[in-house]
Structure 1
Amino acid sequence: MSGAEANFDGLVGPTHHYAGLSVGNEASQNNRDGLSNPRQAALQGLHKMKALADRGYIQGILPPQPRPNVAALRALGFQGTDAQIVQRAAADAPQLLSAYGSASSMWTANAATVSPSADSADGKLHFTVANLNNKLHRAQEAPVTSAILRATFADERYFCHHAALPQQSDFGDEGAANHNRLCQNYNQQGLQLFVYGRRAFGGGPAPVRYPARQTLEACQAVARLHQLKPEYTLYAQQNPAAIDSGVFHNDVIAVSNRNVLFHHQHAFLNQQEVLAALREKADALELPFINVEVPQERVSLEDAVASYLFNSQLLSKPDGKMLIVVPEECRQRANVWEYLSDLTRDGRSPIDEVAVFDLRESMRNGGGPACLRLRVALNDAELSAVNAASLMNDERYHRLTQWVEKHYRDRLHARDLADPHLLYEVRQALDELTQILRLGSIYDFQR
């Protein structure tokens, strides 16, 4: 059977706001207390999905989560009706209301780690939901994420779902944002590269300014759950200096597609050893590994964080070359745009085309094109088993844009989370969305 890569993007939720919740994410911190536009955010994301679907890429949609999370606030001692709980949280603990009102599930690169059936000993496609235990506003996501993924990939003949790892700090897991896969074809055995920020049980360098969210032990646990072959699995440590520069996930400094790894000069600790190990494992698979390393002198770590050059999507084209999908911020930063122009003009480069998207609303909260998508490599039988209503097409794009225009506000501040009407607006919107995407009662248990 042939194979293809599908990208499942997170649909931005109606409570998208700027509260600076993510320490270590400089865009999130720098735009704290700003005024967001949830409607524009959702439409920008849908535009990217539709544009890529129009080019022939398999594009999926994952829904937002119910926010504010009243059940979580109730568990923390707030009492009364749902409306009263929201208002009391706003008065007594606005930081909690902001965290439990976050629309951060839009960044589905953190939803789970995914291993295709070609790599797993049992021949199934495996999902392990990320526990995201480093940040309060994200640690709440796992139960609903699990329900969404199980509804989207429901056929147990093909898909195997694992619960999130324990919430202890030893098993900090941020999902596919710290995971890369290299292969010749998507349905063939590949190499899985797990990237971690620290060792939970000590040893080795670690960042000092910002937290390292992913642990080696979490990576190893996911590899065991997915039944991966050790000879085709590699663990690499992210450069602590990069984390301290604002590279909170590996996908802010490196991205892969098929046999290509596009990365910064300072992406990994002991980078030349990492690349040598990848080449050795690739040779064993007869995989023609290509690494495109961007020098610090062309694009500094500061430029990489500001532009999100590496938080891009690499997509295969029919002619064998690759398209790189970047945010508008790359075009606005002169040296980054100059580098991309030189790269795509170089006949030796596997990347020969750039597509630019305006994702300003997501970018201001610290998430670019790659943050918004979860990659899933599927063979033909697996693709036919995916919930068809979760895949983008003309009719679905039309319905979803109408749905956003109907239900989303065009401005939102963290203070607005105290408005009980917003809570009811979100619930009405999500009830309608589950019908559009045919996802059933995935939210009922959160009420």
Structure 2
Amino acid sequence: MNIYDEFKKVKNASLTLMHLKSEKKDNVLKKIADLIDKSREKIKSENQKDIENGKRLGLNKALIDRLLLNDKRIDSMISGVMDIVAQDDPVGMIDRGFKRPNGLKIYKVRVPIGVIGIIYESRPNVTVDAAALCLKSGNASILRGGKEALNSNRILGDIIKEALVSEGLDDNLVYILEDPERKYIMDMLKAKDYIDLIIPRGGEGLIKFVTENSFIPVVKHDKGVCHTYIDKDADLEKAVKIAVNAKVQRPGVCNAMETLLIHKDVADEILPRLKKEYDRFGVELRGCEKVRNIIDINIATEEDWEAEYLDLILSVKVVESDEEAIEHINKYGSSHSESIVTENYTTAQKFLESVDAAAVYVNASTRFTDGAEFGLGAEIGISTQKLHCRGPMGAYDLTTTKYIVYGDGHIRE
């Protein structure tokens, strides 16, 4: 097939979606949610094929977990779609408006981007999240999932297309690129006449490849090297609870903590308590010499401070001051999510202002950096760059702006 002919159909279809009323878009989303619910047994059956294939390919437990679609995750997909329905339509929102001294009325209004290409790995729920958010924001989408989720993505894509057709819309508004050939990724990255934005979701290798080869603007999500810093003024009960949750609740995801920093003044007291908790969950600890003088664990190397483990492994470091903790995070962090545990307001504010990340927390787990947890319904990804958006990306972040200007015979002298 000529893939560019397919992309052209998507581009043409996107022009019809730009003018679609909110009610119509929401009806499509409701239909998607309804069909997912009615098709859950078929979805789980197709997903099981991917799970079995993944095991044969030797995928680790974290990747198998990302692939899994059980009833709980299907419920979550449905809930995410319905949350998107409940949100305000970002298209047509006025960011600002003003009147010039010459009488011109100028408004900055949010509009769809056009066609968004999403390249992703493992998680088949991204197919639904991405399609739903693009539809809500008035964008057509080209979705290229990983070969490990081929069967799951295909059935979900069929459901989305059925919903579009049932509402009298062009099913090219959501194009599922099913062919697992890697060459089609390059075709997408070169399709600047048909695709307006590329969003990669996956491992470091995929992000690097897309960033280096795309002819199209990219919103990327780099690796999630997230930290929790336990300050000398921390409530230690809170600290243990937060530090354990951030690592073990779901270790194979980007917002899980990978490095724990502890102020020297509380290290002797809290480290044995933390080790006891981490041992219960089978977490391998790797620490600096100051940590190893307090608890018996493996030594951490320079590579550990930079590592995104996505596993039950945690680097631990004792720091002398808040400044050292902030410096360490800004040096080794990936601008994703960082947290401080402290009861000191001044220290908390310094941390919030000084740490360079998409999400910065006080007395909360980094695991909350998520579209659903932020009330976005779902997310298209978590942007760790600074333009044009940052953090969990919902429908609002899939729009751009244009100026609308009203005059009354105005001419420029």
TM-score by length of 1: 0.29
Q: Select the structure that is richer in helix.
A: 2
If asked which structure has higher relative contact order (CA below 8 Å, sep 6+), I would say: 1
| Bigger Cα Rg | 2
